[in-house]
Every structure is written in structure tokens, then in C-alpha cells.
């Protein structure tokens, strides 16, 4: 099969599956599961085939015009650009989506809305694959916005609950808040570059033109900051991050898909694709570094204070995405995409393992770690695979997360110490310091999650929660399938530069020792606080080390540092006040003029109607009286002259 044809089929198959399920799912429910699983798995196989055929060589491109704009260079094109970055990220997206669809057949086996769920997951997958392969900014934007709509419906899958309805609306509105400047930034970039083609824009910025000097943007900082607003919304970076923890109201497999391979990964991938645009502005790189530092530290502290297991993982995603944006802030997209790949594997594993724990707990909605009892022996597959995932998250060697996180920190060190790197040294230092501190905090909340979920010290003296039948074989099989890249993907660091920009992804001794040392300190501190809390209160249940570790910061971290309150003060209440003012002006001012304009002719008509009595004597009397009045007025005017 031709490589281009296979690449077209990769997003097309799940899209067609979504359309067929939506059209026939209710009439033929028996076909929903194969329609959900088989096209997505076939798409994953084709994505692997495309990656093998591309092989990290020169990009494979193809394009056909979709719409004319009056300017040939600005025509909208269905264009593909299959480079090493794109084909590997597509493999991640398709494989994780296939695992999620397969897992969902067990997790949502009794859900009456499974057909619509399966269709939306397929559409979600198709949209992300379109974003990954697209070489046209407008086509990419279509996939970008379709993902936003899918996330709205999937997060709100349990729409009968107020939490799901509020979370879906919040996710949609917050991401749209970033998408408005994002669209403006795309149009401004295309206007300056005179094209929507991503590869052409990057080529102009990175290589001299035959007829003159290299192309330069007139307003690089403005364009970069406009684009960053959309990236912050999609990838959950401060200050547009608060929708992501609330999105846990959706089914757990949806959380795995959003956090590991779609939606939030799209923003990071977009910056990686257009990194020369952002690198054109020193100010934009510094802003990106500051956003990454604030996001990774704040999210790690918040994760350390959460009791809901899914919210811990949600804040973890925010922090790990901040590592990727930090790598991009120091112009190291090799490290950023490397961490994107490993994070996709271990975060999908962690969420799906959490889903098994929730499923085993019996209610389908029990997510509080303080109430989980005996799950180590009741859900052994989830226990062992989640242990593997948490070790990768904490960047403990030799798991995959160690190699990719080490690449990010090494890239930051290189930018901080190498004056010829072309990146502000301040950006390097910001990312380096924040990355090391976050490594400590990440290991602490990973260890805390592991201890609270599986190692309750008073388990024998507490009444366990109800237990269901546990994970189905297909759910357990998916966990072990994802455990393989979680363990082994990091070993690919010697060959990945051949697929990327050729940078060095090998661990360096100093940063590896610092990062691993920080992780060990964080994990041991969490364990020591956990043991100390238990020994200090022998009757305690659900011993939590977080208050001892965070002390006075704990209530603020548990509340997400009051981000929602800040939104309410800065956006919600002013918007409501403006709405009340508009309502008052509409009712008291505009409606008054409208009613007066309508009432005046009515009053005149009433007066005229009353004058039409039909009595001739009345008419003659009125004429005589009017004549006398006019005569008197005329006399007075003449006398005045």
C-alpha cells in the first residue's frame, strides 16, 4: 500500500466508524463494539506501517486544494506532512485510542449510552490524528475544534449528575477562551508568511530564501503569545488549567484518552511543530518558561493534596505537560516530544489502572483514596501495573519516564550554561530549577498515591468498601499491554534522534543524579510522613502524609490554589455584573423608548377618535373657536410688529 494512502486512512477509518455508529448504533447495538474497536486498531496498525515506511527519513508530503481564498498561496489545502515527529505521535495516538476502545468494552459493558460514547471516542481519535498529520493551519484548526466538541460530550457523559454537566461546560468555555486569540494568531501568522502551510512557514523561518535573507516575522512576540493562549487552554497550562481536574467527572477511559494521547497533547505538539515561530521571540520563550515553571510546581503541590485518585492524576498530567512546554521554552523539541511519547504510555496506564480500582470498589464512582481498602489483593493486575506506571511517573530508572524527563532537564541545563545555545539563559535556569523541584514533588505524590491506595496500615481493622467482580480479562490485558512501553520505551533514546532533529537524548551524569536524587528524597519523605502519621495515631484510618508534608499550604493546595475563586473574581462576577447592567439598560432605557414610541401614536389616535363625535354643531363650534384663536394670534403678531 502507498504510504500516503495509508496515512489518509489512519484518521479516516475512525471517522467513518464514528459516523456509522451514530447512524446505526441504536438500531444494531450488537455491531457497536466491533465498529468501535476494529477500525481504531486497524488505524493503529496503519499508523505503525506509515512510521516504518517513513523511517525517520525526509518528510513525505501530499496536498490537494480544498477551498480557494482569492490568493493562491493562501488557499486551504488538505495537506499532509509525514515527518519523524508526526508519524511517531500518530502511533501513540492510535495505539492509546485502540487500547481505550478495547478497555471500554469491559468498563462500560452495561452503559446504555455506550454507542454514543464509542462514536465520540472514534471521532475524538480521528480529530487528533488529523491534527498530527495536517500541514495546513486551517485543517489543523478543524481537528483542534472537533476535539473540543468531543471533549464536551465525553466529559459530560454522565449528564444526569450536576458535576458532569458543570465540568463539560467548564472544559468547553475555558478552552474556547484560549481558542479565540489562537485563531487570531493563526490568521496573523498566515498573513505575514503568506501561506497556511506549516512546513512552508517553518522552512521560511529556518532556511535562507534563494533570492535574499531568511524570512522574519514582523510581530513574532504578538503572534507567539496569541498562539500560546490557545495552547494553554488545550494543554491545561496556567492560567487556563482549571478545567482539567474537573474533567475527571467523565468516564475513566475518557480521562485516559484526553490526558495521554489527545486534546491536551495537541497544544504541546502544535508548539513543537511551529517552534521556529516561538523561537523568533525571546520574550515568548521567557513567557513559555515562566508558564511552565508556575504550572509544574503549582500542579505538583496540588496533586500532593488531593484525595480523589483521578484528580491526583489530572494534576499530574498538567505538571508533565509543563515539563514538555519547559523543554520547548529552551528550544529542545526532541526532549519535549520524547516526553510526550513516554508520558502518553504511562499516563494511559495509570488512568486505566485507576479505572480498575474504581471498578473493583463496586460503585463505579468511588475515587477517594482515603476510602480504598485492600485493593492490593483484590485488584492485583491494577496494583502491579500502577506500580510500574508510578515508577515511570516519578522518573525512577530504568523506567521510560526517567529517560524522557532527564532529557528535558538536561536540555534546560544546556540552555542555562551554554551562551551560544540561542535561548535566553534565564529560560534555561527557570526550567532547570523548577524541573528539579517538581521531580521531588512528583515522586512524593506518586508515593503517597501508592501508599494510600494499596497499603492502608489499618486495613484489617476497617470495614472494606463493597467489592464488585473486579476487572474483566480484556481490561487487565490492556493494562499489561501498556505496561510494556512504560518499561521499555525509554530505551529508544539512542535511535529517536534519527527520527527527530538529531539532538542528543542520552542521560547526562550530573542532571541524572540530581533528578533521581530529588525523586528519591521526595518518595522517602512521603513514606516517612505516612509512617509517622500512622504511628502517632494507632486508631487512624486512611492515614494521609500530605498535611505533614505541606503544613499550612495544604488547604490551599487541596483547593487548587483557589484558581476557581480567581476565575470567579476576575471573569465570572464582572461578566455577571455586565450582564445585569445590560439587562437594566435594556429594560429601563431601551424598552422605555420603544414603549413610548409605540404609545405616542396610540394616544394621538385616541384623541382623534374622541374628536370624531358625528355632531355637526360640535364641529362648527370647534371651527369657530379655532378661527377666533387664529384671529387673536394674528392681531397680536401685527400689534407686536
Give the tens place of pLDDT for each residue, 10-56.
999 999 999 999 998 777 778 899 999 999 999 999 999 999 999 98
Lowest-confidence pick of 391-395, 596-600, 627-631:
596-600
pLDDT band at 363 (very low <50, low <70, confident <90, very high): very low
CA torsion angle for 536, 541, 542, 545 (degrees, to 10)? Answer: -10
pTM of the full structure? 0.90
9: its cell numbers? 486512512
Give the pLDDT of residue 214.
60
3-class DSSP state of 263 = coil
Assess whether pLDDT exceeds 60 at residue 199: yes
Q: Sort 238 into a burial class: Cβ within 10 Å, 0-12 / 13-18 / 19+.
A: buried
pLDDT band at 282 (very low <50, low <70, confident <90, very high): very high
Assess whether pLDDT exceeds 90 at residue 613: no
3-class DSSP state of 291 = helix
What angle is formed at CA 455 by the lines to CA 449 and CA 461, rounded to 5 degrees?
A: 130
pLDDT band at 310 (very low <50, low <70, confident <90, very high): very high
Can you tell me the distance from the alpha carbon of 37 to that of 24, in angstroms, rounded to the nearest whole number? 16
Number of Cβ within 10 Å of residue 72's Cβ equals: 9
Assess whether pLDDT exceeds 90 at residue 366: no
Assess whether pLDDT exceeds 90 at residue 331: yes
Q: What is the DSSP string of 151-185?
A: HHHHHTTTTTSHHHHHHHHHHHHHHHHHHHHHHHH
Nearest to 39 by CA among 148, 125, 145: 125
Assess whether pLDDT exceeds 60 at residue 210: no
Give the pLDDT of residue 513.
95
Q: Taking residues 187-214, what's their average pLDDT?
A: 81
Give the pLDDT of residue 462.
44
Sign of the four-CA dihedral 477, 481, 482, 483: positive
Can you tell me the distance from the alpha carbon of 326 to that of 42, in angstroms, rounded to the nearest whole number? 34
Nearest to 515 by CA among 614, 411, 611: 411
Q: Taking residues 397-411, what's their average pLDDT?
A: 96
Can you tell me the distance from the alpha carbon of 321 to that of 339, in angstroms, rounded to the nearest whole number? 9
Give the pLDDT of residue 457.
59
Assess whether pLDDT exceeds 60 at residue 394: yes
Ranges of beta strands (E only) in 312-417 are none
Can you tell me the distance from the alpha carbon of 571 to that of 404, in angstroms, rounded to the nearest whole number? 37
Assess whether pLDDT exceeds 60 at residue 281: yes
**Phi and psi angles of residue 262, each rounded to the nearest 5 degrees, phi first:** -130, 180
Residues 122/93, Cβ–Cβ less than 8 Å: no
Per-residue pLDDT tens digits for 451-477? 988 886 554 444 444 444 556 889 999
Give the pLDDT of residue 470.
59
Give the pLDDT of residue 365.
47
pLDDT band at 574 (very low <50, low <70, confident <90, very high): very high
Q: What is the DSSP letter of 590?
A: I
What interhelical angle do 252-260 and 333-361 show, nearest 10?
170
532-535: list long-range contacts, CB under 8 Å, 24+ apart: 534/457, 534/458
Can you tell me the distance from the alpha carbon of 228 to that of 240, in angstroms, rounded to the nearest whole number? 11
* Strand-pair partners of 368: 308
As a whole-number percent, the residues of the chain with pLDDT over 90 amount to 67
Quote the radius of gyration of the chain (alpha carbons, Å).
Answer: 31
Can you tell me the distance from the alpha carbon of 351 to that of 355, in angstroms, rounded to the nearest whole number? 6
Give the pLDDT of residue 467.
44
As a whole-number percent, the residues of the chain with pLDDT over 70 amount to 94
Q: Taking residues 94-106, what's their average pLDDT?
A: 95
Per-residue pLDDT tens digits for 105-157? 999 988 899 999 999 999 999 999 999 999 999 999 999 999 999 999 999 99
Q: Taking residues 592-602, what's their average pLDDT?
A: 83
Give the pLDDT of residue 641.
66
Can you tell me the distance from the alpha carbon of 320 to that of 350, in angstroms, rounded to the nearest whole number? 13
Give the pLDDT of residue 362.
60
Q: Sort 130 into a burial class: Cβ within 10 Å, 0-12 / 13-18 / 19+.
A: buried
Give the pLDDT of residue 589.
82
Assess whether pLDDT exceeds 50 at residue 364: no
Q: Using alpha carbons, list the distances in angstroms from residue 360 to 236, 464, 561.
A: 30, 12, 32
Q: Taking residues 434-441, what's their average pLDDT?
A: 97
Give the pLDDT of residue 539.
53
Residue showing cell 519516564: 401
Spatial CB neighbours of 385, under 8 Å, sequence gap ≥ 6: 349, 353, 479, 480, 482, 483
455: its cell numbers? 497499603
3-class DSSP state of 396 = coil
Spatial CB neighbours of 407, under 8 Å, sequence gap ≥ 6: 327, 332, 334, 335, 338, 339, 493, 505, 507
pLDDT band at 393 (very low <50, low <70, confident <90, very high): very high
339: its cell numbers? 516526553
* Strand-pair partners of 62: 80
pLDDT band at 211 (very low <50, low <70, confident <90, very high): very low
* pLDDT averaged over every residue in the chain: 89
Lowest-confidence pick of 304-313, 435-444, 612-621, 623-632:
612-621
Higher pLDDT pick, 461 / 222: 222
Secondary structure element (H or E) that encloses residue 61, with its range: strand 60-67
Give the pLDDT of residue 594.
84
Number of Cβ within 10 Å of residue 511's Cβ equals: 22
Q: Taking residues 383-390, what's their average pLDDT?
A: 96
CA 287 from chain centre, in angstroms, equals 19
3-class DSSP state of 62 = strand
Per-residue pLDDT tens digits for 299-309? 999 999 999 99
Secondary structure element (H or E) that encloses residue 77, with its range: strand 76-82
Can you tell me the distance from the alpha carbon of 580 to that of 318, in angstroms, rounded to the nearest whole number? 35
Give the pLDDT of residue 121.
97
Amino acid at each position: 500500500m502507498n504510504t500516503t494512502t495509508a496515512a489518509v486512512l489512519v484518521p479516516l477509518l475512525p471517522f467513518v466508524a464514528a459516523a456509522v455508529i451514530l447512524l446505526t448504533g441504536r438500531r444494531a447495538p450488537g455491531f457497536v463494539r466491533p465498529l468501535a474497536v476494529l477500525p481504531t486498531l486497524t488505524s493503529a496498525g496503519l499508523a505503525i506501517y506509515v512510521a516504518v515506511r517513513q523511517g525517520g527519513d525526509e518528510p513525505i508530503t501530499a496536498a490537494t486544494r480544498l477551498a480557494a481564498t482569492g490568493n493562491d498561496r493562501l488557499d486551504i489545502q488538505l495537506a499532509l506532512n509525514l515527518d519523524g515527529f508526526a508519524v511517531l505521535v500518530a502511533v501513540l495516538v492510535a495505539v492509546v485510542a485502540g487500547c481505550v476502545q478495547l478497555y471500554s468494552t469491559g468498563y462500560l459493558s452495561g452503559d446504555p449510552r455506550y454507542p454514543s460514547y464509542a462514536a465520540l471516542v472514534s471521532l475524538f481519535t480521528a480529530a487528533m490524528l488529523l491534527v498530527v498529520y495536517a500541514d495546513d493551519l486551517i485543517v489543523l484548526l478543524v481537528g483542534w475544534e472537533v476535539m473540543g466538541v468531543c471533549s464536551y460530550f465525553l466529559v459530560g457523559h454522565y449528564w444526569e449528575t450536576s458535576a458532569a454537566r458543570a465540568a463539560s461546560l467548564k472544559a468547553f468555555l475555558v478552552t474556547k477562551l484560549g481558542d479565540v486569540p489562537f485563531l487570531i494568531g493563526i490568521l496573523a501568522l498566515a498573513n505575514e508568511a503568506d501561506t497556511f502551510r506549516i512546513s512552508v512557514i517553518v522552512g521560511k523561518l529556518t532556511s535562507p530564501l534563494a533570492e535574499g535573507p531568511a524570512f522574519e516575522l514582523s510581530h513574532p512576540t504578538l503572534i507567539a503569545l496569541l498562539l500560546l493562549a490557545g495552547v494553554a487552554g488545550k494543554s491545561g497550562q496556567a492560567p487556563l488549567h482549571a478545567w482539567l481536574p474537573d474533567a475527571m467527572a467523565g468516564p475513566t477511559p475518557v480521562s485516559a484518552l484526553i490526558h495521554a494521547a489527545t486534546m491536551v497533547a495537541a497544544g504541546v505538539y502544535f508548539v513543537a511543530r511551529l517552534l521556529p515561530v516561538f523561537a523568533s521571540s525571546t520574550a515568548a520563550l521567557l513567557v513559555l518558561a515562566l508558564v511552565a515553571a508556575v504550572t509544574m510546581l503549582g500542579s505538583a503541590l496540588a496533586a500532593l493534596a488531593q484525595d480523589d485518585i483521578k484528580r491526583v492524576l489530572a494534576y499530574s498530567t498538567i505538571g508533565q505537560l509543563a515539563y514538555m512546554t519547559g523543554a520547548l521554552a529552551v528550544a529542545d523539541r526532541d526532549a519535549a516530544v520524547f516526553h510526550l511519547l513516554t508520558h502518553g504510555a504511562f499516563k494511559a496506564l495509570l488512568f486505566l489502572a485507576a479505572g480498575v480500582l474504581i471498578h473493583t470498589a463496586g460503585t463505579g464512582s468511588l475515587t477517594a483514596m482515603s476510602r480504598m481498602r485492600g485493593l492490593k489483593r483484590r485488584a492485583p493486575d491494577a496494583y502491579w501495573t500502577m506500580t510500574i506506571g508510578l515508577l515511570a511517573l516519578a522518573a525512577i530508572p530504568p523506567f521510560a519516564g526517567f529517560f524522557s524527563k532527564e532529557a528535558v532537564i538536561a536540555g534546560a541545563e544546556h540552555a542555562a550554561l551554554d551562551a551560544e545555545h540561542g535561548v535566553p539563559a534565564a529560560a534555561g535556569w527557570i526550567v532547570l530549577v523548577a524541573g528539579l523541584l517538581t521531580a521531588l514533588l512528583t515522586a512524593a505524590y506518586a508515593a503517597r498515591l501508592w501508599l494510600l491506595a494499596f497499603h492502608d496500615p489499618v486495613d484489617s481493622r476497617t470495614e472494606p468498601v463493597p467489592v464488585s467482580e473486579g476487572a474483566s480479562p480484556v481490561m487487565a490485558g490492556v493494562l499489561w499491554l501498556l505496561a510494556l512501553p512504560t518499561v521499555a520505551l525509554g530505551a529508544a533514546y539512542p535511535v529517536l534522534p534519527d527520527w527527530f532533529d538529531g539532538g542528543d537524548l542520552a542521560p547526562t551524569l550530573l542532571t541524572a543524579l540530581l533528578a533521581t536524587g530529588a525523586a528519591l528524597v521526595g518518595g522517602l519523605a512521603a513514606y516517612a510522613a505516612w509512617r509517622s502519621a500512622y504511628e502517632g495515631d494507632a486508631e487512624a484510618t486512611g492515614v494521609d502524609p500530605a498535611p505533614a508534608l505541606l503544613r499550612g499550604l495544604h488547604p490551599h493546595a487541596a483547593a487548587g490554589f483557589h484558581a476557581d475563586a480567581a476565575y470567579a473574581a476576575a471573569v465570572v462576577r464582572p461578566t455577571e455584573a455586565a450582564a445585569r447592567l445590560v439587562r437594566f439598560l435594556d429594560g429601563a432605557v431601551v424598552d422605555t423608548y420603544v414603549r413610548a414610541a409605540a404609545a405616542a401614536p396610540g394616544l394621538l389616535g385616541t384623541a382623534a377618535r374622541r374628536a370624531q363625535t358625528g355632531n355637526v354643531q360640535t364641529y362648527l363650534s370647534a371651527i369657530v373657536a379655532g378661527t377666533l384663536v387664529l384671529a387673536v394670534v394674528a392681531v397680536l403678531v401685527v400689534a407686536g410688529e
